[in-house]
Amino acid sequence: MNKQIYRKSLVYIAFVGPMLILFLLFIFLPFIRSIIYSFQDWNGINSHTHWVGWKNYRNVLTDTDFARTISFTLKYVLATVIGLNVLGLILAVALNVGLKSRNLLRTAFFLPTVMGTVIIGFIWNFIITRLFPQIGELTGIGILHSSWLALPKYAFWAIIIVTVWHTLGYYMIIYLAGLQGLSHELMEAAEIDGAGRIKRFWSIVLPLIRPSITICLFLSIINGFKSFDINYSLTMGGPYGTTESISYQIFQDAFSKDLFSYASAKAVIFFLILTLFSVVQVAILKRKEVEA
């Protein structure tokens, strides 16, 4: 009996071990080290470090730059989450009704997702600074004449547009998978009962694709908070740091300003915010899932 338990745990370790070791090595251990750094005054290069207690955290809380990136990131998350999920769901529903070119269309909408974010930032930078004015001249639409990446208000929307363009296909696919898992019998039964198109969508389709909604909301919120690549390659955080996401500012502090432990303190606070958001969100959405 004892031998059996021993064998069983050996198998368990053999299966789970490799994953766990690499995970501990490259994610968990570095993360713990970062937390330790946040209580020190290391600049990333120096070999001498001192414990400074909560000093980094106190400085972060009074840092107006940090407050500004948090407000930018929250607005960005709100805008992209709404844009991605509403448009993604609409696209998925539209591509699920049996159009002739649906496979081609699905591919077309998914294509931007497979491109690297850094490349996308550079291309859109080109499009926004060079093509938008050209279109503006042709069509006389005044809004396209402004230099979008130089004005804070426009730069914000430029980032939103590029993000939605880039990742929409991904969320569309998840919603599409959810829609295709719906059973025809339920829809037919509702139709016979006299439920209209809109009624059917609200009372049957939406509750049943709740798992997809949970996943999409979770991913879009997390990815929104962690956004870095597009801010880096499209606007470099500018104009005047107004499009600096939290990740981007942490990166800047750590590698351009050599404030490594200060950046670590920011990252730990960021991690706590993110954890709070995900836990609350998953708890709320999980509760409302139903099964057919």
Partner 1 sequence: MRTSRYGAGKLALELLLVIFASLTLYPIFLILINSVKTYPEVMKSLVSMPNEPTLENFSKVWVLMNYPRAFLNSLLVTVSSVIGVLLASSAAAYRLVRSPGKISRFIFYFVLSSLVIPFQIIMVPALKVAKDFHLVNTLHGLVFMYWGFWFLALCSCITAL
* Residue 56 token pair: 């980094």
Q: Give the one residue of 27, 86, 150, 189 binding partner 1; rule: CB under 8 A.
A: 27
**267 is a contact residue toward partner 1 (CB under 8 A):** yes
Task: Write each residue from 108 to 147 as x if it is in contact with partner 1 (CB under 8 A), else as -, in one continuous string.
Answer: xx-xx--x-------xx-xx--xx--x-------------
**12 is a contact residue toward partner 1 (CB under 8 A):** yes
- Nearest C-alpha neighbor of 148 from the set 168, 117, 122, 125: 125
Residue whose CB is less far from partner 1, 43 or 242: 43
User: How many residues of this chain bind partner 1 (CB under 8 A)?
Assistant: 67
Rounded (5°) CA angle 157-240-226: 55
* Residue 38 token pair: 């946040």
DSSP state of 193: T
Helices (H), 140-234: 152-180, 184-192, 197-200, 206-208, 210-225, 229-230
| CB proximity list for 267: less than 8 A, separation 6 or greater | 34, 38, 250
Q: Give the one residue of 6, 7, 10, 11 binding partner 1; rule: CB under 8 A.
A: 11
d(CA 213, CA 8): 38
**278 is a contact residue toward partner 1 (CB under 8 A):** yes
**157 is a contact residue toward partner 1 (CB under 8 A):** no
Segment interacting with partner 1 (CB under 8 A) among 56-64, 76-84, 198-206, 244-252: 244-252
Q: Kindly state the smallest distance separating residue 115's Cβ from partner 1, in Å.
A: 8
Segment interacting with partner 1 (CB under 8 A) among 70-78, 139-147, 148-156, 260-268: 260-268
**86 is a contact residue toward partner 1 (CB under 8 A):** no
Residue 218: CB atoms within 10 A of its CB come to 15
d(CA 80, CA 171): 12
Q: Give the one residue of 34, 80, 85, 231 binding partner 1; rule: CB under 8 A.
A: 34
Residue whose CB is less far from partner 1, 52 or 182: 182
Q: For residue 30, how far is the Cα from the chain centroid?
A: 22
Query: What single-letter amino acid sits at 206?
Result: L
Q: Kindly state the smallest distance separating residue 231's Cβ from partner 1, in Å.
A: 12
The dihedral through the CA atoms of 208, 209, 215, 218 has a sign that is: negative
**285 is a contact residue toward partner 1 (CB under 8 A):** no
**22 is a contact residue toward partner 1 (CB under 8 A):** yes
Q: Give the one residue of 70, 151, 177, 187 binding partner 1; rule: CB under 8 A.
A: 187
Segment interacting with partner 1 (CB under 8 A) among 16-24, 47-55, 57-65, 200-208: 16-24
d(CA 142, CA 268): 44
- Quote the crossing angle between the two packed helices 260-287 and 246-255, to the nearest 10°: 160
Q: Which residues of this protein are in contact with partner 1, per CB under 8 A?
A: 8, 11-12, 15-16, 18-20, 22-23, 25-31, 33-34, 37, 44, 91, 94-95, 97-101, 104-105, 108-109, 111-112, 115, 123-124, 126-127, 130-131, 134, 165, 168, 184, 187-188, 222, 225-226, 228, 246-247, 250-251, 254, 260, 263-264, 267-268, 270-271, 274-275, 278
